[in-house]
């Protein structure tokens, strides 16, 4: 019976954001606490882990900000801000907006980075990145702002630094794949949701609609360099990993980054039983002591 219920939920999730299905029954974990960077660690290319280069990642006015006002030049120091824990089965949501202009010294070769950020999922641990590595081996849910000139530019796209995915039964090796989302121009707040089920399926969701879906994320390909060959084992399937946001020369605000862990206790007898759990883990169950 449990398996039948889960299958029905997953079928429904293809058309409806998981958050709307479960509503207040979900226990959201606020990865960003609205006050400081507790739980987050920066890693910039060409710098040691933990160095917050030029105060790029900061918290002001209750917002997690990516800023370049203290930069005078850019020489490929791509940055990522990593959350402390790894996850496997989960629903993540982020509310973001792009503000201001791209770092002027980024140069014409980084036109692709204008109003560009991302959620890096199933990422390698930040401590395993080599010092000069530009992007972590991960699955990127690419966050893009519209150009504001009437042309189209989707968001919640897929990019694959050091990875590949399976899509409709075929190995997808293109670095980026566009989602079927609409364009979000200006400085408006945008909410993106991603349903991640280990290596089974990943769905990008915008405004109640699944805009991109794929499965079997795995290590492979380029667009992340240099990498440690001990870590970059091509063909290895990614079932879990860390979460990060980016700093790619575009000023960005995040007002919310929250997550529902879909791996947990599925035993109704336990004190922390959750009806929405997809991956049962009995080791996470808590039981009341008998009097």
Tell me if 289 is assigned to some domain: no
**Token output for 66:** 């990516």
Please state, in angstroms and rounded to a whole number, the distance separating the CA atoms of residues 38 and 22. Answer: 28
Task: State the chain's mean pLDDT as an integer.
Answer: 92
Q: What's the mean pLDDT in 169-193?
A: 97
In CATH, what number is assigned to the domain containing residue 119? 2.60.120.560
Tell me if 239 is assigned to some domain: yes
% of the chain beyond a pLDDT of 70 = 91
pLDDT of residue 253: 98
Q: Note down the domain range covering 21.
A: 2-282
Residue 234 neighbours by CB under 8 Å, 6+ apart: 218, 219, 220, 221
Tell me if 288 is assigned to some domain: no
Residue 288 pLDDT grade (very low, low, confident, very high; cuts 50, 70, 90): confident
Q: What's the mean pLDDT in 201-228?
A: 97
- How far are the Cα atoms of 11, 122, 142, 216, 242 from residue 4, in angstroms, in the given order? 11, 27, 33, 22, 30
In order, the DSSP letters of 42-84 are EEETTS-TT--GGG-EEEETTEEEE--TT-S--SS--EEEEES
pLDDT of residue 210: 98
Tell me if 167 is assigned to some domain: yes
pLDDT of residue 191: 98
Q: What is the pLDDT of residues 106-121, one digit of tens each?
A: 988 899 999 999 999 9
Q: What is the pLDDT of residues 247-282, one digit of tens each?
A: 999 999 999 999 999 999 999 999 999 999 999 999
Contact assessment for residue 9 and residue 203, using Cβ atoms and an 8 Å cutoff: no
Contact assessment for residue 243 and residue 18, using Cβ atoms and an 8 Å cutoff: no
Q: How many CA atoms within 13 Å lie on the side-chain side of 124?
A: 27
Per residue, the 3-state secondary structure of 233-282, as one string, reads: CCCCECCCEEEEEEECCCCEEEEEEEEEECEECCCCCCCCCCCCCCEECH
Q: What is the pLDDT of residues 126-160, one digit of tens each?
A: 999 999 999 999 999 999 999 999 999 999 999 99
Region for 23 from its dihedrals, namely left if φ exceeds 0, alpha if ψ lies in -120 to 50, beta otherwise: left
Tell me if 110 is assigned to some domain: yes
pTM of the model: 0.91
Bridge pairing between strands 242-247 and 116-123: antiparallel
Radius of gyration of the CA atoms of the chain, in A:
19
Specify burial of residue 282 (Cβ count, 10 A radius: 0-12, 13-18, 19+). Answer: exposed
The residue that leads in pLDDT, 174 or 5, is: 174
Q: What is the pLDDT of residues 274-286, one digit of tens each?
A: 999 999 999 999 9
The residue that leads in pLDDT, 278 or 290, is: 278
CB atoms within 10 A of CB 29: 15
Tell me if 287 is assigned to some domain: no
pLDDT of residue 142: 98
pLDDT of residue 244 exceeding 80:
yes
How many independent structural domains does the chain possess?
1
Please state, in angstroms and rounded to a whole number, the distance separating the CA atoms of residues 245 and 259. Answer: 14
pLDDT of residue 245: 98
């Amino acid at each position: 019976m449990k398996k039948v219920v889960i299958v029905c939920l997953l079928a429904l999730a293809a058309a409806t954001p998981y958050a709307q299905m479960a509503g207040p029954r979900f226990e959201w974990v606020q990865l960003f606490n609205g006050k400081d960077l507790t739980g987050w660690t920066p890693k910039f290319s060409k710098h040691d882990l933990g160095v917050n280069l030029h105060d790029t990642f900061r918290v002001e006015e209750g917002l997690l900000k990516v800023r370049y006002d203290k930069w005078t030049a850019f020489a490929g120091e791509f940055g990522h801000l990593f959350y402390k824990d790894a996850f496997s089965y989960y629903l993540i949501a982020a509310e973001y907006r792009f503000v201001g202009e791209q770092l002027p010294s980024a140069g014409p070769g980084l036109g692709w980075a204008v109003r560009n950020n991302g959620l890096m999922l199933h990422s390698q641990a930040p401590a395993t990145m080599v010092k000069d590595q530009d992007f972590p081996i991960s699955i990127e849910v690419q966050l893009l702002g519209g150009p504001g000139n009437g042309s189209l530019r989707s968001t919640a796209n897929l990019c694959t630094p050091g990875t590949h995915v399976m899509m409709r039964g075929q190995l997808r090796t293109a670095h980026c794949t566009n989602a079927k989302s609409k364009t979000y121009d200006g400085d408006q707040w945008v909410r993106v949701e991603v349903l991640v089920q280990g290596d089974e399926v990943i769905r990008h969701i915008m405004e109640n609609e699944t805009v991109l879906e794929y499965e079997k994320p795995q290590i492979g390909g380029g667009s992340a360099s240099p990498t440690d060959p001990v870590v970059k084992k091509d063909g290895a399937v990614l079932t879990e990993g860390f979460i990060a946001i980016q700093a790619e020369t575009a000023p960005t605000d995040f007002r919310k980054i929250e997550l529902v862990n879909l791996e947990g206790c599925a035993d109704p007898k336990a004190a922390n039983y959750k009806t929405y759990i997809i991956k049962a883990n009995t080791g996470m169950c808590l039981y009341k002591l008998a009097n």
